[in-house]
A and B are shown apart, each in its own frame.
Chain A
Amino acid sequence: MVTEPLSQRSNAEPKMRARDVSVFYGDKKAIDAVSIDIPSEYVTAFIGPSGCGKSTFLRAFNRMNDTIASARVEGTIELDGEDIYKSGMDVVQLRARVGMVFQKPNPFPKSIYENVAYGPRIHGFAEGKADLDAIVERSLRRAGLWEEVKDRLAESGTALSGGQQQRLCIARAIAVEPEVILMDEPCSALDPIATAKIEELIDELRGRYAIVIVTHSMQQAARVSQRTAFFHLGSLIEFGETSQIFTTPRESRTQDYITGRYG
């Protein structure tokens, strides 16, 4: 995978910007004062041993932590310079702009068509049936699923294979035209072939959307991402170009992790 030199993006505005973000579950601090910039043109990977807070941090970017009663977020996260935690922020609009794909494929128990049409319908994107059909087709094409399902759009989304379900979830997220897509270990429930397909897809989607992917597989981070952030015990240890992180990490803890000494 080709990685553009850092200098090319350094003057561009980041799509999202986290500053001193801490996340608490009750009194327990799961993320400790993390600052990071998410560029729009790259895939950013979050790696680190399990339980270090990757998912927690990822969920702070579309305020999914709001759905957990005990969770509390401090610090600021900006989307195009606007603080998403400011009072009066429309969370519904935010989540339309910052989409999410989960660890375990979670298509709704509806038809394939209805799964993809769900977002456009609730956000009122489509003007009439033809328009909606076009959005569904475009999203499924982008998710690389169209050829496999075009003749059975009325079948239940839950009847697809695991890998297809995950691509359906990606199509569903794409259908609302997000600017950022957050993926939380999207391949951890999939077999190697399905995983390869998703990785290929992520590579195709790069550039069109800012993508953040949490993964516990370092090979995967190396394959799909251009920037990598290494977390440990709720802190951001190191953040930089993926090739640099994997070849010449500055921190000994990063070195230990990528050489498999723990995690």
Chain B
Amino acid sequence: MSPAFLVLLALGLGLAAWLVARARAWGYKRAEPARRLAALPVYHGWYAALWVVLPVLLFAFAWSLMAPQLIAQSVLASPAAAELPAFGMERTTILSEARAVATGAAPAVFNPVAQELVEPYREAIGRYSAIGLVATLLIAFAGGAWAFLRLKPDFRARTKVERAVMVVLLIASLMAILTTLGIFASLIFETVRFFGMVSPFDFLFGTNWGPDPMGPADSPDGSRYGALPLFWGTIYIGAIIAMIVAIPLGLMSAIYLTQYANPRLRQWLKPALEILAGVPTVVYGYFAALTVAPAIRDIAIAFGIENASSESALAAGLVMGIMIIPFVSSMADDSIAAVPQAMRDGSLAMGATTNETIRRVLVPAALPGIVAGVMLAVSRAIGETMIVVMAAGAAANLSANPLEAMTTVTFQIVAMLTGEGSFDHPATLSAFALGFVLFLVTLALNFIALRVVKRFREAYE
């Protein structure tokens, strides 16, 4: 009996409990019309239903994790299992083959040893299904009985149900945060392992990046794990070149949209700009690799720079800048629009032109919001992967020449994780250390940006 069936069963029983409890509450009411129930009959229903369904859901979840283990154990304990190879691939294959036949997922076995195991499997599955079903029923009835014992005319079922709903909502809202914490914890764990092999000093300040996934895992060459060129590449592409493109263009488009565009044009342009934010980054990657990078190389060669490569920090940064424009412009747009109309009127009434008003009053007043937008955009840009994978190259260069190929933290995370080293090799683990640094930096940027925006909002409340 699958967990899905148990859940359906629980829901059915819950419905029954709901109907019965509600009917009983109506009964109280009819018996003593003068007396007021502490809660509406429907809350009696919900209270009983929750007591039936929630414990069963918890059980079904636990059971779905436990049952396969229990079944496998009992199969292994059967006499037929003695013929199994002690361990290794073959043993696993035989077991899964037998299980597939036993559950009807496959018509017949391939390996004769597996045939022997089909029967024990069937038996074990049948036994544990029955146990699961009985346990479910017991739990459901125990929960229901408990609820029915407590349901009295003066029982405040409404507040109890309210509290249960609140807990469910709380769990839902914690889900994303807990997941993030989980990711963070696993990152820390692997990062600590990595720093057990390579010193943090070598990692953070070394200038030579070239991990050797085939080298000895227990005594890695620390001098090959200098991540400085990656940090530099990330900042140069994501925070410098991309921002040189995105800040002026984003700001100017926000100014045009809020101050000059007539409402009809704005109605079209603003969503059009925001659609840019939804283009998959891999598409920008194509554009960078197939159009922009070769164009930049050709121009560079035309200017007499012979060794210009077809992968360059400039190409990746330019396209990333375009990608980031909507982030900057939409934040800038919001913060300029949030500056009270009275500021604008005050300036215009002094005889300032629209342009002077924008430059001297609106933009300075909106500056915190604009800065926050830029910071969010930077954190987005340095986490961006596809464009740099496709257009920036893989060479860890510590150079200020935008025409050179460069690599970034995100690119190297991908490269290290998909490399041929084993999982506990420092070359692979370095991906986690890189991810950890990236995580901290973007977290800090987002945190500061949100603080700034909050302050800014308060200033105009």
Residues of A within 8 A of B (CB): 62, 64, 67, 69, 92-96, 99-100, 102, 104, 106-110, 118-119, 122-123, 158, 169, 172-173, 176
Whether the Cβ atoms of B353 and A92 lie closer than 8 Å is yes
Residues on A with beta carbons closer than 8 Å to the beta carbon of B351: 92-96, 119, 122-123, 176
Give me the 7 closest cross-chain CB pairs, A-B, nearest first: A96-B351, A106-B342, A95-B351, A100-B349, A106-B346, A119-B350, A92-B351
Taking the nearest CB of chain A, how far is it from the CB of B278, in angstroms? 31
Whether the Cβ atoms of B352 and A106 lie closer than 8 Å is no
Whether the Cβ atoms of B350 and A95 lie closer than 8 Å is yes
Residues on B with beta carbons closer than 8 Å to the beta carbon of A96: 350-351
Whether the Cβ atoms of A108 and B348 lie closer than 8 Å is no
Known contacts: A108-B343, A109-B459, A118-B360. The answer to whether A95 contacts B349 by CB under 8 A is yes
Within 8 A of A (CB), among B339-383: 340, 342-353, 356, 360-361, 364-365
If A93-B351, A107-B346, A119-B350 are given as contacts, then 8 extra A-B residue pairs at C-beta distance below 8 Å, sorted by A number, are A62-B349, A106-B342, A106-B346, A109-B459, A118-B352, A122-B351, A172-B346, A176-B350
Whether the Cβ atoms of A104 and B342 lie closer than 8 Å is yes
Known contacts: A108-B361, A109-B459. The answer to whether A99 contacts B350 by CB under 8 A is yes
In Å, the complex CA distance between A67 and B341 comes to 11
In Å, the complex CA distance between A262 and B353 comes to 41
Whether the Cβ atoms of A122 and B364 lie closer than 8 Å is no
In Å, the complex CA distance between A67 and B262 comes to 12
Whether the Cβ atoms of A122 and B360 lie closer than 8 Å is yes
Residue A106 contacts which of B263, B340, B360, B459 (CB distance < 8 angstroms)? B340
Whether the Cβ atoms of A118 and B347 lie closer than 8 Å is yes
Central interface residue in B344, B350, B360, B364, by most chain A CB within 10 Å: B350
Residues on B with beta carbons closer than 8 Å to the beta carbon of A122: 350-352, 356, 360
Residues on A with beta carbons closer than 8 Å to the beta carbon of B346: 102, 106-108, 169, 172
Chain B residue nearest in CB terms to A105: B342
Residues on A with beta carbons closer than 8 Å to the beta carbon of B343: 106, 108-109
Chain A residue nearest in CB terms to B460: A109
Residues of B within 8 A of A (CB): 262-263, 340, 342-353, 356, 360-361, 364-365, 459
Taking the nearest CB of chain A, how far is it from the CB of B16, in angstroms? 63
Taking the nearest CB of chain B, how far is it from the CB of A190, in angstroms? 15
Taking the nearest CB of chain A, how far is it from the CB of B452, in angstroms? 15
Whether the Cβ atoms of A64 and B352 lie closer than 8 Å is no
Chain B residue nearest in CB terms to A67: B348
Whether the Cβ atoms of B360 and A67 lie closer than 8 Å is no
Residues on A with beta carbons closer than 8 Å to the beta carbon of B361: 108
Central interface residue in B340, B344, B345, B348, by most chain A CB within 10 Å: B348
Whether the Cβ atoms of A102 and B342 lie closer than 8 Å is yes
Whether the Cβ atoms of A110 and B364 lie closer than 8 Å is yes
Taking the nearest CB of chain B, how far is it from the CB of A241, in angstroms? 29
Central interface residue in B262, B346, B360, B361, by most chain A CB within 10 Å: B346
Known contacts: A102-B342, A106-B340, A109-B364. The answer to whether A92 contacts B352 by CB under 8 A is yes
In Å, the complex CA distance between A96 and B347 comes to 11
In Å, the complex CA distance between A102 and B347 comes to 11
In Å, the complex CA distance between A106 and B362 comes to 13
Known contacts: A106-B340, A109-B364. The answer to whether A64 contacts B347 by CB under 8 A is no
Known contacts: A109-B459, A110-B364. The answer to whether A67 contacts B347 by CB under 8 A is no
Taking the nearest CB of chain A, how far is it from the CB of B369, in angstroms? 12
Central interface residue in B345, B351, B353, B459, by most chain A CB within 10 Å: B351
What are 21 residue pairs bridging A and B, where the CB atoms are less than 8 Å apart in the complex?
A: A64-B349, A92-B351, A92-B352, A92-B353, A94-B351, A95-B348, A99-B349, A99-B350, A102-B349, A106-B343, A106-B345, A108-B346, A108-B347, A108-B365, A110-B364, A118-B347, A118-B360, A119-B351, A119-B352, A122-B350, A122-B351
Residues on B with beta carbons closer than 8 Å to the beta carbon of A69: 262-263
Taking the nearest CB of chain A, how far is it from the CB of B366, in angstroms? 10
Residues on A with beta carbons closer than 8 Å to the beta carbon of B349: 62, 64, 95, 99-100, 102, 173
Whether the Cβ atoms of B348 and A118 lie closer than 8 Å is no
Residue A109 contacts which of B345, B350, B365 (CB distance < 8 angstroms)? B365
Taking the nearest CB of chain B, how far is it from the CB of A154, in angstroms? 15
Taking the nearest CB of chain A, how far is it from the CB of B345, in angstroms? 7
Taking the nearest CB of chain B, how far is it from the CB of A180, in angstroms? 12
Chain A residue nearest in CB terms to B342: A106
Known contacts: A109-B364, A173-B350, A176-B351. The answer to whether A64 contacts B342 by CB under 8 A is no
In Å, the complex CA distance between A92 and B342 comes to 18
Residues on B with beta carbons closer than 8 Å to the beta carbon of A92: 351-353
In Å, the complex CA distance between A100 and B342 comes to 12
Taking the nearest CB of chain B, how far is it from the CB of A45, in angstroms? 20
Residues on B with beta carbons closer than 8 Å to the beta carbon of A119: 350-352
Taking the nearest CB of chain A, how far is it from the CB of B263, in angstroms? 8
In Å, the complex CA distance between A53 and B443 comes to 53
In Å, the complex CA distance between A181 and B343 comes to 18
In Å, the complex CA distance between A108 and B346 comes to 8
Residues on A with beta carbons closer than 8 Å to the beta carbon of B348: 64, 67, 95
In Å, the complex CA distance between A109 and B340 comes to 11
